[in-house]
Amino acid sequence: METCLDCKKATETVIDLRTGDTICTECSLVISDHYIDDCQEWRTFANDDNSDQDPNRVGAPTNPLLKSGGIGTIIKENAFSSVSKNDLLGLSRAQSLARNKEEDLFKKACNEIKRMTEDLDLISGVEFRACEIVSKFDVDSSKKLRRGKQLTALCAASVSTACRELKLSRTLKEISTVASGVSLKDINKASMAIKRLLRSDQDEAVSDAAPQVMMKTGELVRRFCSKLDMSERERKAIREAVEMAENFDIRRNPKSVLAAIIFMICQLSQTKQRPIAEIALASEVVENTIKKSANDMYPYASKIIPKWYASEEDIIKSLGGLIGT
């Protein structure tokens, strides 16, 4: 909808594709002109005998990560071609010899990354950054791209690294769900290779981005709380507890810390206490790890959990017999 100057309100508009005018449907005022259609452009490159009326896209987007820009010529056999079959086979053979197989493999990796980011509903910036990370393996002669599971694992790991650099909370376990046929162990191995490559890269822009790879616990709060359908009061208490926990020497990974905080907040909840199995499923942390993490954090519980949510007496009463032993 656009604002019409005559109607003085937002109205429905239609576009006249022949003249390029945008017209108000209520008063017929031409709101704007010279509309540019940015849809796909198609043309028909028919033979002289009009035997082929199949339309084709005009041009294709260039890929700045490819040496050729993604623009090339493919020779195919055509029944109506005036070139002899022997000449056509010779041209196809020459093209096969001159073809850059590594570039074809990189294109395959880009397509795989695109599929993963679409399945995870991620922004386009993640796709480009992940492709950029994979392209560094193509440049490095000691780390060439490999087909099969290794390529899929590398694509998944590059998506994970791109998410962390762009401060989007996606765990390796979530990304592994769209990496068909690849285990979490393979993705972890590829992630370590990416970290080593980025660390050894002397490019200033890459070294500036490297510290962002560490995922902060606060990024996961919103998503985990949403899975557990927690109230706004509980979410606020968890966010504040996570911030306070960063001031203490808790030697647990961020997901375990968050899962333990959620567990303690749920035990102190005045409305609904969620079972630890449900918390483990939402946070992707096993029950035993949550219990051990909560036990490690119990000495700091009265300082971590906001006083407006629960008093020290309530914490000792509710958590003392459960995890403080």
* Distance between CA atoms of residues 74 and 98, nearest Å: 12
Report the pLDDT averaged over residues 287-309. Answer: 88
Q: Write down the mean pLDDT value for the chain.
A: 77
Q: pLDDT tens-digit profile of 211-264?
A: 444 455 666 788 788 888 888 888 898 989 888 888 888 878 888 888 889 998
Report the pLDDT averaged over residues 285-312. Answer: 88
DSSP H or E segment with residue 179 = none
Q: Note the pLDDT of residue 159.
A: 92
**Statement: residue 210 has pLDDT above 60:** no
Q: Identity (one letter) of the amino acid at 268?
A: L
Q: Note the pLDDT of residue 53.
A: 63
Element counts in the chain: helices (H) and strands (E): 14, 7
Q: How far is CA 39 from the centre of its chain?
A: 26
* Distance between CA atoms of residues 189 and 7, nearest Å: 62
Q: Note the pLDDT of residue 103.
A: 74
CA quadruple 114, 118, 120, 124: dihedral sign = positive
In 3D, which of 94, 100, 183, 98 has the Cα closest to residue 144? 100
In 3D, which of 237, 198, 238 has the Cα closest to residue 214? 198
Q: pLDDT tens-digit profile of 130-173?
A: 888 888 775 544 456 666 678 888 999 999 888 888 878 788 88
**Statement: residue 285 has pLDDT above 80:** yes
Q: Note the pLDDT of residue 200.
A: 66
Q: Note the pLDDT of residue 205.
A: 43
**Statement: residue 208 has pLDDT above 60:** no
Q: Note the pLDDT of residue 98.
A: 56
Report the pLDDT averaged over residues 5-9. Answer: 82
Report the pLDDT averaged over residues 282-291. Answer: 86
pLDDT band at 61 (very low <50, low <70, confident <90, very high): low
Q: How many angstroms separate the Cα of 39 from the Cα of each of 17, 36, 136? A: 12, 9, 33
Percent of the chain with pLDDT over 70: 70
Report the pLDDT averaged over residues 187-199. Answer: 84
